[in-house]
Amino acid sequence: MTGGAVALCIDVLKTHNIKLARKMYSFLKPNELLLGDRAFCAYSDMIAIKKLDCDAVFRKHHYRTTTMRKGKIVGDCDKLVTWYKPKKCPKGLSKDEFDALPPSIIVREIYYYIVILGFRTGRVSLITTLLDTTTYPTLEIVEIYGKRWDVELDLRHLKTTLGMDVLRCKTPSMVRKEIYVYLLAYNLLRSLMWSAGTTYGTPPLRLSLQGTRHHLNNFIPKLLAATSTKRLQIYWTLLKVIAHKAVSDRPGRSETRVRKRRPEAYPLMTKPRHELQKQLQTA
């Protein structure tokens, strides 16, 4: 895993995430594995992914009850269960797509417990299309699903670290260009992190994206002013500096969802600026 962005889907405002995700399935390559949370664990999505010769590991939707009395037990916390086609066509599918679904599919259900001292023990159930328990051991699947959180961190880097949470362009075409530029900058940083990590033996995902950004900004004037021979030396120095900005592994870390820096308590801008300026002049 590199943390880089490999595909993009843009649609009209307030389009549901599931609808956008189903458009992204076309970018999957055979034998690839798709990780997702509860929202993606649907019968139709499992079928669509298998038709692409891919596999999935999703967290089981909370609407599906868990019972060990049904299914074939293949391990201590492992079983094969049969999912049947829904009786009603779910939202987001056309009638033709719903009619084309097979009557059933066999999936593998894995459950495990999260034990943290001082907190209530939580149970997690995973649904996957990887049915062979010998080729795909339970612990490996659980470990792979744990990497899904890295995707959430990558999205946070795009929106918060790089500032893509607020798009400033006004027209649809310029908004698209703005998004593409953010992704280009993000992938540039990720490529530097990958080169630095593989060169100096540091896991690329353990490197700091914000630190890489700061180092690149500091090295850009030197890179532009240097000759071609000197520029290569500066580049290797940049990779060495980036590789030494590793973030320590903090398993089971839990933090309160608060913001350290609070914005000023000004009211929202609900009128055009020229009207507000007139009110300010007459006040």
Residues 31, 32, 37, CA angle at the centre, nearest 5°?
A: 135
pTM value is 0.80
Q: For residues 207 and 242, is the Cβ–Cβ distance under 8 A? A: yes
Q: What is the pLDDT of residue 262?
A: 74
Q: What is the pLDDT of residue 66?
A: 59
Quickly count: other Cβ atoms within 10 Å of residue 104's Cβ. Answer: 10
Q: What is the pLDDT of residue 189?
A: 95
Which distant-in-sequence residues (6+ apart) come within 8 Å of 178 by Cβ?
167, 168, 169
What does the alpha-carbon distance between residue 115 and residue 41 come to, in Å, rounded to a whole number? 24
**Which tokens hold the place of 15?**
């389009």
Q: For residues 102 and 47, is the Cβ–Cβ distance under 8 A? A: yes
Q: What is the pLDDT of residue 200?
A: 92
Alpha helix (H) residue ranges in the chain: 17-24, 43-51, 95-99, 138-146, 148-156, 172-200, 209-225, 228-243, 273-282
Per-residue pLDDT of the chain (283 residues; tens, 9 = 90+): 788 888 888 888 888 888 888 888 889 999 999 998 888 888 999 999 999 999 999 999 877 775 556 777 777 788 898 988 988 888 878 889 889 999 999 999 998 888 777 777 788 889 999 999 889 999 999 999 988 888 888 888 999 889 898 889 989 899 999 999 999 999 999 999 999 999 999 889 889 999 999 999 999 999 999 988 899 999 999 999 999 878 877 766 666 777 777 777 788 888 888 898 888 888 6
Q: What is the pLDDT of residue 188?
A: 95
Q: What is the pLDDT of residue 224?
A: 92
Q: Where exactly are the structural domains of the chain? A: 31-146, 152-243
Q: For residues 113 and 121, is the Cβ–Cβ distance under 8 A? A: yes
**Which tokens hold the place of 160?**
């918060």
* Span 204-216, pLDDT tens digits: 988 999 999 999 9
Q: What is the pLDDT of residue 68?
A: 55
Radius of gyration of the chain measured on its C-alpha atoms: 24
Strands 72-75, 55-59: parallel, antiparallel or unpaired by DSSP?
unpaired
Q: Report the sign of the C-alpha dihedral through residues 171, 172, 173, 174, in that order.
A: positive
* Span 142-186, pLDDT tens digits: 999 988 888 888 888 999 889 898 889 989 899 999 999 999 999
